[in-house]
């Protein structure tokens, strides 16, 4: 466990912190498509992502969703930290976008580690800052950008998160994550293909010369 923590979270500098994580963490392997965090549930642990990719979405009571951000290895979901420390129900949903390797940290260690370990405190604060900027970008996109631009941004974000220009996804899934209609998304994707910017396959998209939004 110590070697795994040091390999995937090298910024945890204090040996005592690495010992503490190794002693209390629950190692979990989650298959692609499985939920890690469900909307409306009480959260009892914070996930440290060793390997893989999580998709974090905001969901309303009617089941409508919008993508907030992706999380890859070496990250955590700070929304869970907030809910853990306040003992509140989750306001987001997190799903494994690929097979994912997690270390789950019980919530009652959060306060203690924030006070005791500087590298843990820096990790949480830096993660808060990064996710806040991503959520502002999402808000700006929804409020001020056309669906064309939002789709371009979404495809580039998925390419960056998955580290590949070709990925499997349905038009319906894209529509759900952009809070749009499948017909509108399919029409725009077909337009991008006609212009030679992407290549569409069966539940698959390959980015070719896609411009930035």
Instruction: Select the CATH number that applies to the domain covering 2-143 from these four: 2.60.120.10, 3.60.40.10, 3.90.550.10, 3.40.50.720.
Output: 2.60.120.10
Fold of the 145-207 domain = Arc Repressor Mutant, subunit A (1.10.10)
Q: Which residues contact 53 (CB under 8 A, 6 or more apart)?
A: 70, 71, 72, 96, 97, 98, 100, 161, 162
pTM of the model: 0.83
Six-digit token string for 152: 């371009």
Q: Which of 155, 26, 200, 168 is nearest to 98 (CA)?
A: 168
> Which stretch, 64-68, 203-207, 208-212, has highest mean pLDDT?
203-207
Give the confidence band of 40 by pLDDT, cuts at 50, 70, 90: confident
Domain extents for the chain? Answer: 2-143, 145-207
In the chain the beta strands, taken as DSSP E runs, fall at 26-30, 35-37, 45-51, 53-59, 65-72, 92-96, 100-106, 166-168, 198-201, 204-207
pLDDT in tens, 91-112: 889 999 999 999 999 988 988 9
Residue 8 has pLDDT above 80, yes or no: yes
Q: Which residues are 59's β-sheet partners?
A: 65
pLDDT in tens, 120-174: 999 999 999 999 998 888 888 888 899 999 999 999 999 999 999 999 999 999 9
């Amino acid at each position: 466990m110590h070697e795994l923590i040091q390999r995937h979270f090298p910024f945890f500098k204090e040996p005592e912190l690495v010992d503490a994580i190794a002693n209390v963490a629950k190692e979990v392997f989650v298959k692609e498509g499985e939920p890690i965090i469900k909307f409306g549930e009480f959260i009892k642990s914070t996930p440290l992502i060793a390997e893989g990719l999580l998709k974090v979405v905001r969901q309303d009571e009617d089941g409508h969703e919008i993508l907030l951000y992706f999380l890859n290895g070496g990250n955590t979901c700070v929304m869970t930290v907030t809910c853990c420390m306040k003992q509140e129900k989750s306001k987001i949903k997190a799903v494994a976008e690929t097979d994912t390797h997690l270390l789950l940290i019980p919530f009652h260690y959060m306060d203690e580690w924030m006070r005791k370990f500087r590298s843990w405190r820096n990790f949480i604060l830096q993660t808060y800052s990064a996710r806040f900027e991503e959520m502002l970008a999402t808000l700006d996109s929804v409020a001020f950008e056309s669906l064309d631009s939002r789709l371009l941004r979404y495809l580039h974000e998925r390419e960056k998160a998955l580290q590949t220009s070709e990925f499997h996804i349905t038009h319906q899934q894209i529509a759900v994550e952009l809070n749009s209609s499948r017909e509108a998304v399919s029409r725009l994707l077909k337009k991008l293909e006609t212009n030679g910017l992407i290549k569409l396959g069966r539940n698959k998209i390959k980015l070719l010369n896609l411009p930035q939004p």
